Amino acid sequence: MTDAARIPPPPRQSRFGWPLPDRREEFVKLAAQPAAETYRVADFKGQTVALPILRVSLNLPKYRISNGRTASAQQEWVATKHVQADFFDDGDPELEGIQIAQHQILLNMIREEGLLAKFEDPANEQVDPILLDENGFVVNGNRRLCCWRELYAKDPSAYSHFGHVDAVVLPHCDEQELDRLEAKLQIEKDIRSDYTWDSEANMMAQKQRLHGFTTPQLAQLYGKSKRDVEDLLAMRELAAEYLRSRGKENAWSEVKGDRYAFQELLKARTATPSAGDREIVKQASFALIDDAGQAGERLYAVIPKVREHLAAVKQGLAEAFPLPPVQTDAAAEEAFGGPSARPAGLAQPESSDLALVAEIKKDEASIRRAREVVIETIRSQDEQGRERDAADYLFKTLKKANALLQNASGHGLRPESSIDGVASQIESMRGALSRIQAWLAERGGLKA
């Protein structure tokens, strides 16, 4: 039995939820009283239901621990507090320790989102009721409840209007229905902020892990395509691997601003057939994500260039991280019919790519050097591309002009076409062509 499991149920006077029997007893008592108002909950189990609005103590509800918005923050909290990995997933949500942890996570959110500042103005009171399940866990309104609890604890007199709050208790339903309802409600606007990409991805992974949702079910639940869900979960895996490789496992706040970087990395890896090349693309991109400012432009623009200039990137990295000569096994070579019979581009290049990957991620100095090489290589390739474009400018421009001229002579010589200004345009073009021909003659580009 864990230490958390030995903690007795919280007393009724706790700020973080009454004991379950007391919550249920209160619901029965309130339900027996005539309801002054009802609240319509749309699409609950496929229909709209009108439920009574109950006035409950601020301390009565408990936070819903499997709240999608807090999925990333919970993982980061577990990592920073050094508690068991399943603290939130498998812990008893009735325990006050878990409720306090969820309160702290929500508190950080409402401070960042400005929700706390909004309700600090006493003129801003509750508008919509919070939604509770039959056991008193908050399905919708966790952040608002956290905000009101924090303000009321700080100054019960100034915020006496939060001493009791309006709540609606949902009829019995399973966890999947609660997840579906939560997803629908969170899509709506009002004071609800958008999920960060990592929270959305971790929420979906959490639903798969805890409730067995399939990818198509998640797509339907959150109004996305199956491909979008698959990509988001794949991006999450890349970000999780990146954080682990930097000794920052589950520190999701480190990557919440890097959605498009991981999106472009996923695209680049998917389009790269060789496993060794995919690893080089990944590790080079990880190095760029470490210090986005050094790249000089947005990561979502730089990362695709790693794959675009992969041959040059690999050459630059190979020169910066020279590998020892590979010792070949004579018997193995003989099995292939000798070195010349080895299938081109398979075993040897693949193993040398993976050896190169091992070198560039060996330590912080190697990662830093790899980043410098990648950035230098991309800049060099971009400059060469600009030079090629400049060299081809004359030909490309004349080719476009010729196409337009052919189009004009083929389709514009009609009786209804206006001739105003046509002669002057022809004379102008003749002058420009004469200058180009003279320049070509000087360069020896005109044949007699």
Model confidence pLDDT, tens digit, residues 305-354 = 999 999 999 999 999 998 876 555 555 445 444 544 444 433 455 678 88
Residue with tokens 């966890």: 175
H/E element, 22: helix 20-31
Kindly tell me if the per-residue pLDDT of 278 is higher than 50.
yes
Which pTM was predicted? Answer: 0.72
What single-letter amino acid sits at 267? K
Instruction: Give the pLDDT band of residue 13 (cuts 50, 70, 90).
Output: low
Kindly tell me if the per-residue pLDDT of 1 is higher than 70.
no
Instruction: Give the pLDDT band of residue 179 (cuts 50, 70, 90).
Output: confident
What single-letter amino acid sits at 107? L
Report how far residue 131's alpha carbon sits from residue 137's, in angstroms, rounded to the nearest whole number: 8
Kindly tell me if the per-residue pLDDT of 366 is higher than 90.
yes
Report how far residue 223's alpha carbon sits from residue 242's, in angstroms, rounded to the nearest whole number: 28
Report how far residue 426's alpha carbon sits from residue 44's, in angstroms, rounded to the nearest whole number: 72
Asked if 181 contacts 48 with a C-beta cutoff of 8 angstroms, the reply is no
Work out the percent of the chain whose per-residue pLDDT is above 90. 52
Instruction: Give the pLDDT band of residue 248 (cuts 50, 70, 90).
Output: very high
DSSP for 154-212? H-TTTTGGGSEEEEEEPPS--HHHHHHHHHHHHHS-TTPPPPPHHHHHHHHHHHHHHH-
DSSP-based three-state secondary structure for 138: strand
Residue with tokens 């699409």: 43
pLDDT for the residue numbered 12: 61
Distance from the first to the final alpha carbon of the chain: 97
Using alpha carbons only, give the angle 229, 234, 236 rounded to the nearest 5 degrees. Answer: 95
Kindly tell me if the per-residue pLDDT of 23 is higher than 80.
yes
pLDDT for the residue numbered 100: 95
Most distant pair of Cα atoms in the chain: their distance: 106
Show contacts of 296-304: CB within 8 Å, 24+ apart.
296/375, 296/379, 298/260, 299/258, 299/260, 299/261, 299/264, 300/260, 300/261, 300/263, 300/264, 302/375, 302/378, 303/261, 303/264, 303/265, 303/268, 304/264, 304/267, 304/268
284-298: pLDDT as tens digits: 999 999 998 888 788
**Rounded average pLDDT over 343-369:** 77
What single-letter amino acid sits at 417? S
Asked if 323 contacts 285 with a C-beta cutoff of 8 angstroms, the reply is no
pLDDT for the residue numbered 186: 67
Quote helix, strand, coil % in the chain, to nearest 5.
Answer: 60, 5, 30
Report how far residue 376's alpha carbon sits from residue 378's, in angstroms, rounded to the nearest whole number: 6
Task: List the one residue out of 174, 177, 182, 176 whose CA is nearest residue 200.
Answer: 182
Residue with tokens 């958390």: 4
Instruction: Give the pLDDT band of residue 134 (cuts 50, 70, 90).
Output: very high
Contacts of 136 (CB under 8 A, 6+ apart): 17, 18, 20, 23, 24, 27, 60, 61, 62, 169
Asked if 367 contacts 321 with a C-beta cutoff of 8 angstroms, the reply is no
Task: List the one residue out of 186, 260, 259, 169 whose CA is nearest residue 221.
Answer: 186
pLDDT for the residue numbered 445: 67
Report how far residue 321's alpha carbon sits from residue 412's, in angstroms, rounded to the nearest whole number: 62
Using alpha carbons only, give the angle 331, 336, 341 rounded to the nearest 5 degrees. Answer: 130
Kindly tell me if the per-residue pLDDT of 189 is higher than 70.
no
- Specify the length of the chain in residues: 448
Give the neighbor-by-neighbor strand order of the sheet with 130-132.
38-44, 47-57, 164-169, 130-132, 137-140, 62-63
Asked if 159 contacts 118 with a C-beta cutoff of 8 angstroms, the reply is no
Kindly tell me if the per-residue pLDDT of 212 is higher than 90.
no
**Rounded average pLDDT over 56-83:** 92
Residue with tokens 């790269």: 272
